[in-house]
Structure 1
Amino acid sequence: MNRDRATILLIEEDDATRTFLADHLTADGYDMLVADCVRDGIRHLETSYPDLALVDVDLPDSSGLDLVSHVREADGVASRIDPQVPLLLLSARCGELDRVRGFERGADDVVEKPFSYRELRCRVEALLRRADRSRSGGRLRVADIELDTSSRTALLSGAVLELSAKEFALLRVLAADPTRVFTKAELLRTVWGRRTVGTTRTLDSHACRLRRKLGATGGRYVVNVWGVGYRLVDAPALVDERELREEIALAA
């Protein structure tokens, strides 16, 4: 992706913040779309197809959280909204519970106000890089994991991983956007095609089996973010075999 061509949608009620971000991101080479309410933000999402959206949580006509849910529930056809567009929430309240709520709705990142512009810009660039990698297909590499999506093969430290179709699909989704927390609803919808969450037992059992296969080297790549979903980490954490066996037994 050509960074200079990337289009960012900014949905922000505060005039000063909106002007500041729009001016600085434009100066950094991005094309900007701006809105001050959910209604206008959705209109831009349906007609302009931005590469990323910055969404204020506190908007006059609805919550930014509701907009995130609306985007993630879109089918990408009738709604004309890309359900995979990267979404970064801007929130004046950014405690643990606030961040969890944002991730549960499907946000890719949550940034607390007031924020450092330099840090925000870096987060924007990281999300755009991951989205570009996700769309590019072909080979994906995260740490010692390598996926060839065309041949549906997976390697760990050069050794072939024997994965079921759903295990491979789950790993592919996680590897396309490493470190992002995917909610269970997102994963069920993307991998199993379910529009509603229902039971998460199937997802949990597949995630545990995948974690076990990736844990052969003593590290854990697939991390369970309790109460939210799963993410893939660039550097595996050491795994306690007893803990892993207990999790597998619970999900079996």
Structure 2
Amino acid sequence: MAPQQPCVLVVEDENAQREVLKYNLEAEGFGVVLAENGDEALLLVREENPDLIVLDWMLPNVSGIEVCRRIKADPGTRAIPIVMLSARGDEGDRVRGLETGADDYVVKPYSVVELMARLRTQLRRTRPATMGERLIFDDIILDAGEHRVFRDGQPLHLGPTEFRLLSTLMEKPGRVWTREQLLDRVWGRDIYVDTRTIDVHVGRLRKALMTHGGTNPVRTVRGTGYALG
């Protein structure tokens, strides 16, 4: 199974704009979820837990600014990067968008190439493994680009599932992941896997990480899930 592709929630009320964004994002290898208005966006951000949000300012009913404010005010969603799209290019509008919580602000009409570059920049910050970055935690090095893992300088042999599991844990050391969250990130949103399966793969990952000795870095959080460190 290939690594789980990053999911982008596109919130845009104009159908033509939605389809252009969807086409270009999918061409870049992203999974795409579409919303036509602010209410739908607020529902989908909870249901889909996207890795990134592309948010139009001018939306019917609930504006993009208000959607941004609510997402960033919620501890469960505030870490999701938001790139705001708007025809409003004045300095005051940019400042308002960024002060509301947007991580980046792109003025319409925009360059698709530039927009994709900005999205990749946000994902390097929040999901570096999907961008081929090298991750380091204590004496563990995960090279996502070359698909290799080392501990204390020694190569480790991980199966594809254990590699994706480790990359998820290493992207946010210390974060406690529930089994459901790990299954969603490692296996994908459209595949049903029993949550007990995660325990089996965590066991395999721990065994692999301790091949050359050393302590077990994967911590069990009773009644919740797992964390690295």
Q: Does residue 54 of structure 2 align to residue 54 of structure 1? A: yes
CA offsets per residue over residues 92-131 of structure 1, 9 Å max, x none? 0111101100111000000000000000000000000011
CA contact (8 A) 1:8 1:33 kept: yes
Q: Match of 2:110, SS?
A: coil
CA contact (8 A) 1:4 1:29 kept: no
Code of the residue aligned with 2:84 in structure 1: it is L
The runs of 5 or more residues in structure 2 that have no matched partner are 129-134, 139-171, 173-229
User: Relative to structure 1, is the Cα distance of residues 51 and 119 closer, same or farther in structure 2, using a 3 angstrom cutoff?
Assistant: same
User: Separation in 2 of the partners of 1:100 and 1:50?
Assistant: 25
The residue that corresponds to 1:106 in the other structure is: 101
The Cα offsets for residues 53-84 of structure 1, whole Å up to 9 and x where unpaired, read as 000000011210101100111021xxxxx211
- For residue 28 of structure 1, report the CA deviation from its aligned partner: 1.4
**Identity of matched residues, %:** 33
- State the one-letter code of the partner of 1:68: C
**Compared with structure 1, are the counterparts of its residues 87 and 3 closer, same or farther at alpha carbon in structure 2 (3 Å cutoff)?**
farther
Deviation at 1:132, TM superposition (A): 2.5
Give the superposed CA RMSD: 2.2
Aligned to 1:22: 22
Aligned-pair distance for 1:16?
0.8
Q: Report how many aligned residue pairs link the two structures.
A: 133
**Is structure 2 residue 9 aligned with structure 1 residue 9?**
yes
2:118 aligned residue:
123
Q: Deviations over 1:17-54 (max 9, x none)?
A: 11111011112111000011001111110111000000
Structure 1 residue 137 displacement after superposition: 8.1
Structure possessing the higher relative contact order (Cα contacts under 8 Å, 6 or more residues apart): 2
Aligned residue for 1:93?
88
Partner of 1:155: none
Moved over 2 A (4+): 136-139
**CA distance in 2: counterparts of 1:12 and 1:115, whole angstroms:** 14
Q: How do 1:72-221 residues align onto structure 2 when only pairs under 5 Å count?
A: 72-76=72-76, 82-132=77-127, 138=137
Q: 1:66 to 1:43 in 2, by over 3 A?
A: same
Q: Which position in structure 2 is the counterpart of 1:79?
A: none
- TM-score, normalising length from structure 2? 0.55
Output the amino acid matched with 2:31: D
Query: Which blocks of at least 5 consecutive residues in structure 1 are unaligned?
Result: 77-81, 140-175, 177-252
Secondary structure of the 2:60 match is: coil
Matched letter for residue 89 of structure 1 = M
State the alpha-carbon separation in 1 of the partners of residues 22 and 93 from structure 2.
Answer: 25
Q: Which amino acid aligns with 1:115?
A: Y
